[in-house]
Structure 1
């Protein structure tokens, strides 16, 4: 299935304000342990297409380890030259507005988003869905459900760059659109709204097919 066909097929899959798919690069694994965000990348999906982008390095005022420099390609010099994290997060909060949020392994990104917003006395109110949990239910036969594996498994667009925030957000957005299109093909949905994908992520794996059949029947009767 071509990217153009996916875009046409899932044009009605998002809410009016769109869905924002995001990815953080960070100095470590846990904001509770003092780790900070060092880059944010995000794309807004509207009408089945990427309609807008947001990307910025950010300076949290601390050094990053040589491991993180090697893993992400983000150096201490790059972070030190970046805008303050407070400034970037204020702009990002304005960018996302009230749109539903998506990330791959969302529990990680959600923790950092909430922690960084708390530092500027702002908070997130909207729902945050996990594309990894959805993928486990839509593609149970994938070798694993890492983003790079799923991109290869489904032949999704990629520039070959992983572990930079905007590139990962764009690949996650393409994965989200492909999953919506595949659900439409398999179950006859006329559209796949964010709420359906989010609910699917919470289903037990042995209930997935029944859940989707039930939702498809409900939506046809609306």
Structure 2
């Protein structure tokens, strides 16, 4: 079980990177504690950025919806207060971390905590899974459906459930008493072939 409080986040965006002027359109946060989701935050966010048609088709988030959404600065201030200094996690965290940092910078705030990545962890702890895409992993592990894929809160909840599943696996298979965010950050950097050996040393 994952006892520690962790904030699992997911962004929907207008593109791949803030470096290419892409902006966030929606954020979802699922707070995990004691092995389950205990709190949630979700909001569309209007940055004034245009959503390309293929992104609109993928996410279902339209330019018309964003015109009615609260300003991105307001949403980021709210969600930064909601998360506080709780350790962060995302599926394919390098993507979400870039947007979290970029959107925080625009409101003169800065991230203080590290990110763990459930994608990197799944590649190491679930090498037998046929795919490491979030939806495919959740279906393969028979985890509960959380709603429409490519919507921020549904994806954050999927990543949260997957992380709790992997934490339970670490405890059952490897006899680890405590699975912490720090341990997850360490494991995601170890090559898959050396994971078993590393877990023996950790026990």
Give the structure-2-normalised TM-score.
0.98
Instruction: Return the index of the structure with the highest Cα Rg.
Output: 1
- Alignment of 1:20 onto 2:7: yes
Q: Distance in 2 between matches of 1:33 and 1:146?
A: 24
Q: 2:165 aligns with which of 178, 184, 188?
A: 178
Contact 2:92 2:119 in 1 (8 A): yes
Contact 1:102 1:129 in 2 (8 A): yes
Q: 1:206 aligns with which of 162, 183, 193?
A: 193
Residue 160 of structure 1 and its aligned partner are, at CA, apart by 4.8
**1:150 corresponds to which residue?**
137
Let me know the Cα RMSD of the aligned residues: 0.9
Residue 14 of structure 1 and its aligned partner are, at CA, apart by 3.6
Residue 159 of structure 1 and its aligned partner are, at CA, apart by 3.7
SS at match of 2:85: coil
Q: 1:103 aligns with which of 70, 76, 90?
A: 90
Gaps of 5+ in 1: 1-9, 217-222
What count of residue pairs does the alignment treat as equivalent?
A: 203
Contact 2:146 2:155 in 1 (8 A): no
For residues 133-190 of structure 1, what are the alpha-carbon distances to aligned partners after superposition, in whole Å with 9 as ceiling and x for unaligned? 0000110011121001100110001145200000000010000000000111111112
Contact 1:14 1:194 in 2 (8 A): no
**1:46 corresponds to which residue?**
33
Contact 2:87 2:114 in 1 (8 A): yes
Q: Distance in 1 between matches of 2:136 and 2:201?
A: 30
Contact 1:90 1:120 in 2 (8 A): yes
Contact 1:89 1:116 in 2 (8 A): yes
Q: Distance in 2 between matches of 1:52 and 1:100?
A: 14
For residues 180-208 of structure 1, what are the alpha-carbon distances to aligned partners after superposition, in whole Å with 9 as ceiling and x for unaligned? 00111111112211111111000012210
For residues 7-53 of structure 1, what are the alpha-carbon distances to aligned partners after superposition, in whole Å with 9 as ceiling and x for unaligned? xxx1xx243xx100000000000101100000000011111121110
- Alignment of 1:78 onto 2:44: no
**2:117 corresponds to which residue?**
130
- Alignment of 1:59 onto 2:46: yes
Contact 1:36 1:112 in 2 (8 A): yes
